[in-house]
Structure 1
Amino acid sequence: MKTQIGITETNRQAVTEALAKILADETVLYVKTKNAHWNIEGADFYEKHKFFETQFGQLDYMIDSVAERIRSIGHYAPATLGSYLSLTQLTEKNKYPNDSQGFIKELLADHESIIIVLREHIKPFADDYHDLGTSDFITGLMESHEKMAWFLRSHLKQ
């Protein structure tokens, strides 16, 4: 059945393409956070192991929400590792060692990168594509990333 939600197919397609890239970023960040959870080493292992577990749980919810937003506007969400790697702006490689400071710096940079992308889409989704729902949705997503980034950043304070 055709999707009739008051947004043109052209606009829904443009929003879907942007959301697919966001979904890819979220998924790559999720995997990198899982990597931190699994591979953390050091005297603060247990504390950070649990901390990263909390963060990847939040990201799992966010991934599902982005994919469901794509579906709710009438399109299919990409769902392969290959598609995510071709769509993401993030790199899956870590630049830092497997200690808490290294993982936190890497994950923080990725959250901040996603925050910038989300912020840049808020007005175009509303103004150019007439999709206030997705504009509101990514505003909330951005706020979640800002809070997660704050938690990461707080671990870097000396």
Structure 2
Amino acid sequence: MASANHNPIDIGISDGDRKKIAEGLSHLLADTYTLYLKTHNYHWNVTGPMFNTLHLMFETQYTELATAVDEIAERIRALGYPAPGSYAQFQKLSSVKESDGVPSAEDMIADLVKGQEIVVKTARSVFPASEAANDEPTADLLTQRMQIHEKTAWMLRSMLE
């Protein structure tokens, strides 16, 4: 990642810290985008007795994820780094794996629980760097993301009990 030097950024966070945080956020962006894509796929392809419930639930979730992707990418840009934006980059950076085929509705739910939990762990892993640099905007973004993904994982997990 290369920062543009012709217009130096002076926001009270060192170049090294901004780079480290932006790299962590790039992983979070990739995880979030991959989870967005997977959730949208499941929205399109879910079948079975819970079709209507899951179709609507997945739509709510992918819509929220689409907004999150934008917020994360914009934070990376505000820190002075380019946001990754290709499937190739996301595949390298993401801990969320794409799914093959069309799983059963129950397997979709279980897979999305895993995806939500992975995103929480990625967000949590970036938090120490943002905290150490006194980067409150990133810390706030990470806190919001963790809260949303933990709640969504709980709601999905509840459907499996």
Task: Please say whether Structure 1 and Structure 2 have the same fold, judged by a TM-score greater than 0.5.
Answer: yes
Q: CA RMSD in A?
A: 1.5
Confirm or deny that 1:123 pairs with 2:147. no
1:141 paired residue number: 145
Alignment match of 2:42 (pick from 26, 30, 36):
36
Q: Which runs of 5 or more residues in structure 2 are unaligned?
A: 1-6
**TM-score, reference length from structure 2:** 0.90
Alignment match of 2:105 (pick from 100, 106, 109):
100
| 1:1-158 equivalent positions in 2, closer than 5 A | 1-94=7-100, 98-127=103-132, 129-157=133-161
Q: 1:131, CA displacement in angstroms?
A: 1.9
Q: 1:99, CA displacement in angstroms?
A: 2.5
Q: Following the alignment from structure 1 to structure 2, what is the Cα–Cα distance between the partners of residues 15 and 121?
A: 7
Q: Which runs of 5 or more residues in structure 1 are unaligned?
A: none
CA contact (8 A) 2:25 2:126 kept: no
Say which structure, 1 or 2, has more relative contact order (CA 8 Å, 6+ apart): 2
CA contact (8 A) 2:21 2:129 kept: no
Q: 1:53, CA displacement in angstroms?
A: 0.5
**TM-score, reference length from structure 1:** 0.91
CA contact (8 A) 1:108 1:149 kept: yes
Q: Following the alignment from structure 2 to structure 1, what is the Cα–Cα distance between the partners of residues 27 and 125?
A: 13
SS of residue matched to 2:81: coil
Deviations 1:14-38 (A, max 9, x none): 1111100100000000010011101
Matching residue's letter, 2:151: K
Q: How many residues align?
A: 155
